[in-house]
């Protein structure tokens, strides 16, 4: 085990660390299905600090913390004293002084969670920092894929979209490779960071050619706010080349799993009938997120 009391990134963890999060998440899911409650965080406080918007991550960390018996502080930058000029570090030090066991932090700057972890007593969980990593998302994706495919050993997972700006892609590439999967990163050249092969993933640009051999395909959100940067000509053109529509999805094997971390741009990176179709595991990802985040909170609060 090389994981410490924080969860800041997948990079640097070893396979045993990842397996142990997934096994604990499985135990939480089993307990839930059997109607048992495990409340190891009774009388502890989990602080959710979201400096950036979120639906899935914030809600599921809150549900996970409450179901573990913790009290939850849900703090958002909007409406806080940051509007009066209080800094990030002053903000987190003040909240730390109130005694939470765990701080869950989402921030638009890469490295923000790691910075905070050096200044507080609480354990810190990175809930997404800039374009760096989103470790809890990668763990819930791996959990969902293992549930659907049995194992990730030797499985081929294609991640499609704006790899350059995607913390989800980076965390997933590390996590899936640790579990033995072959990872292919696919997207337009303008959305591929230079040197991305260092992650140990294959890089490809022709999605149609990849689909017949894929065991899973993970569609990333196209960040429409980046369209000004000229990374793609238009949402319509992006959809034509990289959108997963029913025609393209028909090239997949029957067992192949379709993932999306959300929020989706329906009709751009994924069509309605594919997002809501039989091969989609998008809501399974969301449901499993609660069990995976229970495991993360339990482990980090220990
Ligand atoms: N997948 C994900 O991080 O979604 P939210 O931005 O809604 O938390």
C-alpha span between 223 and 264 (Å, rounded): 10
- Residue 280 DSSP class: B
Dihedral sign, CA of 247, 251, 257, 261?
A: negative
The pLDDT score that the predictor gives to residue 224 is 78
Q: Which atom of ligand 1 is nearest to the CA of 52?
A: 6
Residues in the chain: 302
C-alpha span between 277 and 216 (Å, rounded): 14
Q: What is 15-134+289-301's CATH topology?
A: Rossmann fold (3.40.50)
- Residue 64's alpha-carbon distances to 104, 287, 297, in angstroms, are 12, 11, 8
> How far away, in angstroms, is 55 Cα from ligand 1 center?
6
* SS3 per-residue string spanning 106-175: EECCCCHHHHHHCCCCCEEEEEEECCCECHHHHHHHHHHHHHHHCCCCCCEEEEECCHHHCHHHHHHHHH
Residues of the chain with CATH 3.40.50.1370: 15-134+289-301, 135-285
Structure token digits, residue 205: 């640009």
Task: Pick the residue whose CA is nearest to atom 6 on ligand 1.
Answer: 54
Of the CATH numbers 3.40.50.1370, 1.10.340.30, 3.40.640.10, 3.40.50.300, which one belongs to the domain with range 135-285?
3.40.50.1370
> How far away, in angstroms, is 263 Cα from ligand 1 center?
6
The pLDDT score that the predictor gives to residue 118 is 98
Summarised one tens digit per residue, pLDDT across range 228-251 is 778 888 899 999 999 999 999 999
Mutual angle of helices 56-67 and 135-149, in 10-degree steps: 80
> How far away, in angstroms, is 128 Cα from ligand 1 center?
8
The pLDDT score that the predictor gives to residue 3 is 61
Instruction: List the one residue out of 47, 159, 172 whose CA is nearest residue 100.
Output: 47
Those residues whose C-beta lies under 8 Å from the C-beta of residue 207, and which sit 6 or more positions away, are 158, 160, 186, 241, 242, 248
The pLDDT score that the predictor gives to residue 1 is 39
> How far away, in angstroms, is 12 Cα from ligand 1 center?
23
- Residues of the chain below pLDDT 70: 1-3
The pLDDT score that the predictor gives to residue 229 is 76
Structure token digits, residue 44: 């502890």
The pTM is what? 0.97
- Residue 117's alpha-carbon distances to 5, 7, 173, in angstroms, are 10, 10, 24
Summarised one tens digit per residue, pLDDT across range 108-155 is 999 999 999 999 999 999 999 999 999 999 999 999 999 999 999 999
Task: Pick the residue whose CA is nearest to atom 4 on ligand 1.
Answer: 56
């Amino acid at each position: 085990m090389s994981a410490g009391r924080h969860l800041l990134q997948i990079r640097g963890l070893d396979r045993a660390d990842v397996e142990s999060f997934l096994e604990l998440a499985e135990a939480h899911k089993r307990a839930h299905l059997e109607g048992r409650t495990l409340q190891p965080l009774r009388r502890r406080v989990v602080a959710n600090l979201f400096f950036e918007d979120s639906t899935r991550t914030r809600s599921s960390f809150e549900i996970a913390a409450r179901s573990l018996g913790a009290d939850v502080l849900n703090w958002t930058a909007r409406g806080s004293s940051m509007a009066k000029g209080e800094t990030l570090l002053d903000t987190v030090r003040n909240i730390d002084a109130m005694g939470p066991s765990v701080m869950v932090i989402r921030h638009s700057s890469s490295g923000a969670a790691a910075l905070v972890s050096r200044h507080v007593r609480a354990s810190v969980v990175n809930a997404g920092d800039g374009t760096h990593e989103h470790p809890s998302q990668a763990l819930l994706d791996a959990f969902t894929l293992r549930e659907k495919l049995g194992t990730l050993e030797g499985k081929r997972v294609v991640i499609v979209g704006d790899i350059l700006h995607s913390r989800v892609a980076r965390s997933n590439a590390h996590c899936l490779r640790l579990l033995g999967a072959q990872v292919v990163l696919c997207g337009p050249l303008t959305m591929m960071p230079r040197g991305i092969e260092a992650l140990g993933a294959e890089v490809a640009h022709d999605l149609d050619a990849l689909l017949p051999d894929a065991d899973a395909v993970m569609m990333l959100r196209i960040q429409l706010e980046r369209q000004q940067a000229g990374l793609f000509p238009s949402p319509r053109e992006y959809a034509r080349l990289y959108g997963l529509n029913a025609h393209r999805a028909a090239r997949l094997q029957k067992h192949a799993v379709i993932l999306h971390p959300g929020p989706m741009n329906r009709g751009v990176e994924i069509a309605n009938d594919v997002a809501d179709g039989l091969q989609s595991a998008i809501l399974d990802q969301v449901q499993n997120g609660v069990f995976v985040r229970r495991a993360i909170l339990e482990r980090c609060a220990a």
